[in-house]
Amino acid sequence: PAFTDGERDLLKGSSDFFGLNYYSATLCRSCADKREHLWKNVGGYAGDVGVMMAQDPAWETTGNGWPVVPWGLRSMLLHIQERYAPCGGIYITECGCVLEPEAQIEQDRTEGALTPQPSSVASSEPEDPCETIRDTERIRFLRAHFSAVHAAQELGADVRGFFVWSLLDNFEWLHGYGPRFGVVRVDFPTQRRTIKASGHWLKDVALRRGFNAPHRSEQYRGEPF
């Protein structure tokens, strides 16, 4: 919509903060001269932006096929800071991944594993606080993205918060209960919760108010930071 100069002045700086959901990134190349072809063969969105999108085949991917590109988060945060300089700072309102250990992937393939039951009929088996699930790849993912945020902060990005998606395995709007983003595993038939290793790692980050930067051997391909 069109805005008057007065309306623009009212809008500037009126938001409480800039919220960003970040999961992945893509490479783009300009195809502005081929928009008609894009509208016809790819779809309206591609025609509107006038670019072709692709991913580097060398990039690692998550369990649901999304490329892992932590340096894209750093670049996005710096762009937001430079372009908008939000007065309330930047909050990463979602960032997480589907990276479950193979044993849990196999468990989810059993019949009924992804069919939740209400707590009234679920098993009363007690939860074991000492039990855990070693989702080390999720820890690697989070460490890389926390490091990307720190790198952006060092270059001037006013990042004030980071919300990991998600606390619990949940219902994903497009794919149901299959993709597990949680740092706490939910056994859907029994509603039993198990804190994953990534959940314990996050607790330690909060208690220590910091974390160890990833070793070079743990870093993902792409731009170093």
Render pLDDT for 107-127 as a digit per residue (tens, 0 to 9).
Answer: 999 999 999 988 765 566 788
Domain 5-25+67-218: state its class.
alpha beta
- What does the alpha-carbon distance between residue 97 and residue 140 come to, in Å, rounded to a whole number? 11
Q: Quick one: tokens of 29?
A: 């190349």
pLDDT, position 224:
77
Q: Where are the domains of the chain?
A: 5-25+67-218, 26-59
Please list the ranges in the chain whose pLDDT falls under 50: none
Question: For the CA atoms of 110, 115, 116, 118, what is the dihedral angle to 10 degrees?
Answer: -110
Q: Which amino acid is at 33?
A: D
pLDDT, position 114:
97
Find out whether 99 and 24 touch, Cβ atoms under 8 Å. Answer: no
In the chain, % helix, strand, coil (3-state, to 5) comes to 35, 15, 50
pLDDT, position 119:
75
**Residue 207, SS3?**
helix
The model's pTM: 0.91
pLDDT, position 118:
85
Q: DSSP class of residue 195? A: E
High-pLDDT (> 70) share of the chain, %? 96
Find out whether 144 and 219 touch, Cβ atoms under 8 Å. Answer: yes
CA distances from 159 to 75, 97, 146, 154 (A): 13, 20, 11, 10
Determine if the peptide bond prior to 198 is cis (ω within 30°): no
pLDDT, position 39:
75
Question: H helices of the chain, where?
Answer: 5-11, 35-41, 44-49, 70-84, 102-108, 136-154, 197-208
